[in-house]
Amino acid sequence: MLARIAALVVVGVALGGCSLFDKDVVVPDEPADKLYNEGLYLLNNKKNPKDAAKKFEEVDRQHPYSEWARKSLIMSAYAYYESGNYDDCINSARRYVTLHPGSPDAAYAQFLIGSSYFDQIPEISRDQERAEKAVQTLDEVVRKYPNSEYAVAAKRKIEMARDQLAGKEMEIGRYNLQQRNYIGAINRFKIVVTRYQTTRHVEEALMRLTEAYMSLGIVDEAQTSAAVLGHNFPDSRWYKDAYTLVQTKGLQPNENKGSWISRAFSRALR
């Protein structure tokens, strides 16, 4: 009998301990829709995107794998983007694309990744790694979701980022030209002509190629770059400069079809 009472006391203490533990530590989950709507309220009415993102993340934490969690994940990415927390936006959006690649919102998530990099593109004198990442990630939108509403906006941002990358190559090329590092300059201008031919920098790049080749005495390539410039951009002020430059040596722009410059533009026109 004493042994039985002792056993009941031990069980009672154990259960009481569990009850106290549960009371102190385990907090009941809040309804997913309540958390989600609180996030929307903070985002739309309080204009507090950072706190809204935390609310959406709480949905995912308390109700993983639910439809509310899926919706909250894309909303947290958007809220972080709006608050300027680009790294958090990229992380949330990448997670969304990984977990829900077939979702209608996957295109938007990918667009948010690219836009986060795009918004962080620095001025031309600094490293352009973010511009490169913007091009790469926004190109995913165009390739994977060509019919989405975000594809057109992605293309516009890609062109602006590519223009920035071309501008960086031009900056380095001009510096090399000033230092009489003509081979280094040619290599930079060549990148603009071959990779960034649709940007506004290609006209100057062709003129600078004319200048660099003339300085090296490679007149055939100088004549070709001037001729290609004149053929494609006849009204360009850069063509006038290139034309004047080759004339100083008694030459005329003359395209050599075997030149890499001529081939680069021939490929672009196909």
End residue of a domain, out of 103, 127, 142: 103
Q: Which domain does 45 fall in, by range?
A: 35-103
Region 65-72 average pLDDT: 95
Residue range 186-204, pLDDT digits in tens: 999 999 999 999 999 999 9
Residue range 226-263, pLDDT digits in tens: 999 999 999 999 999 999 999 999 999 999 999 999 99
Mark whether 142 and 216 lie in a shared domain. no
User: Residue 66 is which amino acid?
Assistant: S
End residue of a domain, out of 103, 120, 154: 103
Alpha carbon distances (Å) from 92 to 106, 199, 204: 12, 32, 41
Mark whether 85 and 158 lie in a shared domain. no
Mark whether 269 and 184 lie in a shared domain. yes
Mark whether 119 and 83 lie in a shared domain. no
256 phi-psi bin (left φ>0, alpha ψ -120 to 50, beta other)? beta
End residue of a domain, out of 103, 124, 142: 103
Distance CA 125, CA 38 (A): 43
Going 227 to 230 to 236 to 239, the CA torsion angle's sign is positive
Q: By three-state DSSP, how is residue 63 classified?
A: coil
pLDDT band at 41 (very low <50, low <70, confident <90, very high): very high
pLDDT band at 266 (very low <50, low <70, confident <90, very high): confident
Mark whether 116 and 154 lie in a shared domain. yes
Mark whether 186 and 131 lie in a shared domain. no
Mark whether 116 and 88 lie in a shared domain. no
Alpha carbon distances (Å) from 197 to 81, 167, 181, 185, 200: 32, 12, 23, 17, 8
pTM: 0.85
pLDDT at 268 over 90: no
- Specify the higher pLDDT residue, 46 or 41: 41
Region 34-46 average pLDDT: 94
- Per the structure, the count of domains in the chain is 3
